[in-house]
Chains A and B, each alone.
Chain A
Amino acid sequence: MEASFGVSSAAAANAVNSPALSPPSLPFIRSEARPISWRVDKSRKAGKITTKAVAAQAENPASAASKPGHEVLLFEALREGLEEEMERDPRVCIFGEDVGHYGGSYKVSKGLADKYGDLRVLDTPIAENSFTGMAVGAAMTGLRPVVEGMNMGFLLLAFNQISDNCGMLHYTSGGQFTIPTVIRGPGGVGRQLGAEHSQRLESYFQSIPGIQMVACSTPYNAKGLMKAAIRSENPVVLFEHVLLYNLKERIPDEEYVVSLEEAEMVRPGEHVTILTYSRMRYHVMQAAKTLVNKGYDPEVIDIRSLKPFDLYTIGNSIKKTHKVLIVEECMRTGGIGASLTAAINENFNDYLDAPIVCLSSQDVPTPYAGTLEEWTVVQPGQIVTAVEQLCR
Chain B
Amino acid sequence: MAKIIHNPLVLSSSRSAEKSESCCKLSGPTSFMSSKFLGNKLLSTNSATSPATRRSAAVVAVSSDVVKEKKLKSSSSLANLLITKEEGLVLYEDMILGRAFEDMCAQMYYRGKMFGFVHLYNGQEAVSTGFIKLLKQEDCVVSTYRDHVHALSKGVPARQVMSELFGKTTGCCRGQGGSMHMFSKEHNVLGGFAFIGEGIPVATGAAFTSKYKREVLKEDCDEVTLAFFGDGTCNNGQFFECLNMAALWKLPIVFVVENNLWAIGMSHLRSTSDPQIWKKGPAFGMPGVHVDGMDVLKVREVAQEAIGRARRGEGPTLVECETYRFRGHSLADPDELRDPAEKAHYATRDPITSLKKYLFENNLANEAELKAIDKKIDEIIEDSVEFADESPVPARNQLLENVFADPRGFGIGPDGKYRCEDPKFTQGTAQV
What residues of chain A have their CB less than 8 Å away from a CB belonging to chain B? 17, 38-42, 44, 90-91, 93, 117, 119-120, 124-125, 127, 129-143, 145, 160-161, 164-165, 169-180, 209-210, 212, 232-234, 260-262, 305, 307-313, 315, 347-348
Interface size on B, residues (CB 8 A): 64
Q: Are A140 and B416 in contact (CB under 8 A)?
A: no
- A130, A161, A172: the one contacting B192 at CB < 8 Å is A172
Q: Are B176 and A234 in contact (CB under 8 A)?
A: no
Name which residue of chain A comes closest to B174, CB basis. A174
Provide the residues of chain B in CB contact with A142, threshold 8 Å: 209, 213
Bound Cα distance from A137 to B140, whole angstroms: 10
Q: Are B417 and A124 in contact (CB under 8 A)?
A: no
- A119, A141, A176: the one contacting B216 at CB < 8 Å is A119
Q: Are B201 and A133 in contact (CB under 8 A)?
A: yes
Bound Cα distance from A176 to B432, whole angstroms: 22
Name which residue of chain A comes closest to B183, CB basis. A173
Provide the residues of chain B in CB contact with A140, threshold 8 Å: 190, 202, 205-206
Q: Are B238 and A129 in contact (CB under 8 A)?
A: yes
With contact pairs A134-B205, A138-B206 given, residues A127 and B406 touching in the complex (Cβ less than 8 Å): no
Provide the residues of chain B in CB contact with A164, threshold 8 Å: 193-195, 198
Q: Does B116 contact A (CB under 8 A)?
A: no
Bound Cα distance from A145 to B209, whole angstroms: 10
Q: Are A125 and B202 in contact (CB under 8 A)?
A: no
Q: Are A119 and B212 in contact (CB under 8 A)?
A: yes
- B140, B176, B195, B415: the one contacting A174 at CB < 8 Å is B176
- B171, B193, B237: the one contacting A129 at CB < 8 Å is B237
Bound Cα distance from A170 to B142, whole angstroms: 16
Q: Are A38 and B421 in contact (CB under 8 A)?
A: yes
7 more contacts with CB within 8 A, not counting A134-B202, A305-B411, are A129-B201, A133-B201, A164-B193, A172-B183, A261-B409, A310-B411, A347-B414
Mark contacts of B379-405 with chain A using CB atoms, 8 A cut-off: 1 yes-contact digit, 0 otherwise.
000000000000000000000011111
29 A-B interface contacts by CB (under 8 A): A38-B417, A41-B416, A93-B216, A117-B216, A119-B212, A120-B216, A125-B245, A125-B248, A129-B201, A129-B241, A136-B205, A137-B204, A137-B208, A141-B206, A145-B205, A165-B198, A170-B402, A172-B176, A172-B181, A173-B191, A173-B402, A174-B183, A177-B183, A210-B409, A232-B409, A308-B411, A308-B412, A308-B432, A311-B414
Bound Cα distance from A44 to B417, whole angstroms: 12
- A40, A133, A143, A180: the one contacting B405 at CB < 8 Å is A180
Q: Does B110 contact A (CB under 8 A)?
A: no
Bound Cα distance from A41 to B175, whole angstroms: 38
Provide the residues of chain A in CB contact with B412, threshold 8 Å: 40, 261-262, 308, 310-313
Bound Cα distance from A313 to B417, whole angstroms: 11
- B209, B211, B401: the one contacting A137 at CB < 8 Å is B209
Q: Are A42 and B415 in contact (CB under 8 A)?
A: yes
Provide the residues of chain B in CB contact with A177, threshold 8 Å: 183, 185, 190
Bound Cα distance from A83 to B328, whole angstroms: 52
Provide the residues of chain A in CB contact with B242, threshold 8 Å: 130, 134
Bound Cα distance from A64 to B216, whole angstroms: 40
Return the 9 tightest CB-CB contacts between A and B, nearest first: A137-B205, A133-B201, A308-B411, A174-B174, A174-B173, A173-B183, A130-B241, A137-B202, A175-B402
Provide the residues of chain A in CB contact with B415, threshold 8 Å: 42, 312
**Residue of B183, B401, B406 contacting most chain A CB atoms (<10 Å):** B406
Q: Are A173 and B177 in contact (CB under 8 A)?
A: yes
Rounded to whole Å, the gap between the CB of B294 and the closest CB of chain A is 30
Rounded to whole Å, the gap between the CB of B147 and the closest CB of chain A is 12
Provide the residues of chain B in CB contact with A176, threshold 8 Å: 172-173, 183-185
Provide the residues of chain A in CB contact with B209, threshold 8 Å: 137-138, 141-143
Q: Are A234 and B173 in contact (CB under 8 A)?
A: no
Rounded to whole Å, the gap between the CB of B144 and the closest CB of chain A is 13
Rounded to whole Å, the gap between the CB of A179 and the closest CB of chain B is 8
Provide the residues of chain A in CB contact with B244, threshold 8 Å: 125, 127
Q: Are A161 and B201 in contact (CB under 8 A)?
A: yes
Bound Cα distance from A41 to B191, whole angstroms: 43
Bound Cα distance from A267 to B417, whole angstroms: 23
Q: Does B419 contact A (CB under 8 A)?
A: yes
Provide the residues of chain B in CB contact with A312, threshold 8 Å: 412-416
Name which residue of chain A comes closest to B401, CB basis. A175
Q: Are B411 and A261 in contact (CB under 8 A)?
A: yes
Bound Cα distance from A370 to B36, whole angstroms: 67
Name which residue of chain B comes closest to A309, CB basis. B411
Bound Cα distance from A17 to B242, whole angstroms: 33
Q: Are B202 and A133 in contact (CB under 8 A)?
A: yes
Rounded to whole Å, the gap between the CB of B175 and the closest CB of chain A is 8
Bound Cα distance from A307 to B46, whole angstroms: 52
**Residue of B205, B207, B212, B421 contacting most chain A CB atoms (<10 Å):** B205
Q: Are A308 and B201 in contact (CB under 8 A)?
A: no
Name which residue of chain B comes closest to A116, CB basis. B216
Rounded to whole Å, the gap between the CB of A52 and the closest CB of chain B is 25
Q: Are B403 and A170 in contact (CB under 8 A)?
A: yes
Provide the residues of chain A in CB contact with B416, threshold 8 Å: 40-42, 44, 312
Provide the residues of chain B in CB contact with A137, threshold 8 Å: 142, 190, 201-209
Provide the residues of chain B in CB contact with A348, threshold 8 Å: 414
Provide the residues of chain B in CB contact with A40, threshold 8 Å: 412, 416-417
Q: Are B215 and A133 in contact (CB under 8 A)?
A: no
Bound Cα distance from A143 to B207, whole angstroms: 11
